[in-house]
Amino acid sequence: MIVRATGLFLVAATLIAAAPNSSSLEERLGQCFAQQSAKTPFSGIVVASDGHARFERAAGFVDEAGQRRPDADTPFRLASVQKVLTEIAVGQLVDAGKIDLDAPVGRYLPDLPKELSAVTIDQLVHHQSGVASFTMLNPQIADALMSAHSAHDLIPLVAAQPLAFPPGSKTEYSNGGYFLLGAVIEAASGESYGDYLQSKVFKPLGMTHSSLAPTPEAAVRYTKMSPAGSAETPRPMGAGLLDLPASSAGDGLSSASDMLALGRALVGDQLLKKATKERIFQRKADPWRIGQSGGTMGTNTDFAVYPDSGWVVVTLANYDPPAGELMGEVIRKAATGGPCQPLGADDRPSPFKMILRPPPQAQR
């Protein structure tokens, strides 16, 4: 373990080596991490492994006092990387014969409006459904999320919105589609969305630091946003900033070690049959990459699995976007043989959007 001070942050690096080129990997990725941190300040953790060598580096703090550093077991908010877990659950239920990807969602959720009922599960998974995107947070969405006790409770929120385009005619990112997929998982499995993940994904893989509910060990979120406007430097997220519960579209919690275990299972066929994995996680380019980025206030994540080469790269940050997704993109390219090309916010502007409003108790 190497620990050194860098500016305001303590930085730790670990490499567990079983391959001849492990030291060069540590040096190359370590230098790349430092270059990217200088370009875009980062707080969180990165873990990269090809199944032989493991590179790990952390920076910043995960408590309000600025004393506790992140490690591989620190739970972070996943933001939209939660969708990968939803996709896995759908795929498992396909393998179990309980979901048909080509079936209309109305088969599993019979009370949907006619137009929405005809959308297929496959179209929901691949953001081709036309279901409302819900990417711009508003009080209606926030109220629905905070009052929901299950994924099924979010159906009225989605059903109240018309389709944005004919299903299958184009691709447009949709949180609403993943709200519906959570309800489909519940209907097909007979379990709540959270219970299903716990019994069929977290427990089998030993993901003991993963959950939908916040825990005391979870990383405190640092943000430049405040009720009064934008701050100069990230500060612990406090009262007045909306903290929404997790859903099948985003914001569960997991650690770098747990997500690495998930990634290793996706490299192989431990969670899904090969044909199902290839359909759920379509090969859109070479090399084949499973995963995505996600961001919201005080959270930015990047998860990448390369089944062909065996690489898994997990980046979890408790800073506003685009700190985490930029670090993830830079490190995964360097880890898989590409050059280190540090990125700034101008290179990859983050698409996340937020509104501020008083916390629920202040409205009563």
Record the tokens describing residue 2, joined without a space. Answer: 């190497």
pLDDT of residue 243: 79
Q: At what angle do helices 82-95 and 175-189 cross, to 10 degrees?
A: 40
Q: Which of 2-16, 27-41, 83-97, 247-261 has the least mean pLDDT?
A: 2-16
Strand partners, 68: none
pLDDT tens profile 51-83:
988 999 999 999 999 999 999 999 999 999 999
pLDDT of residue 237: 87
Identify which has the larger pLDDT, 276 or 242: 276
What pLDDT is stored for residue 241 in this prediction? 64
Residue range 149-201, pLDDT digits in tens? 999 999 999 999 999 999 999 999 999 999 999 999 999 999 999 999 999 99
Cα angle for residues 184, 189, 193 (degrees, 5° grid): 65
- What residue type is assigned to position 85 of the chain? L
Predicted confidence at residue 200, as pLDDT, reads 98
Whose CA is closest to 290, among 317, 257, 325, 263?
263
Contact 116, 159 (CB under 8 A): yes
CB burial readout 71-100, b (16+ within 10 A) else e? ebebbbbbbbbbbbbbbbbbbbbbeeebbe
pLDDT tens-place string over residues 193-245:
999 999 999 999 999 999 999 899 999 999 988 665 667 788 998 755 667 89
Tell me if the bond preceding 287 is cis, omega within 30° of 0: yes
Rounded to the nearest integer, the mean pLDDT of the chain is: 89
- How far apart, in Å, are the Cα atoms of 334 and each of 10, 50, 294, 311? 23, 13, 20, 11
Residue 9: predicted pLDDT: 35
Tokens matching residue 113:
């409006």
pLDDT value of position 16: 36
pLDDT band at 351 (very low <50, low <70, confident <90, very high): low
pLDDT value at position 75?
A: 98
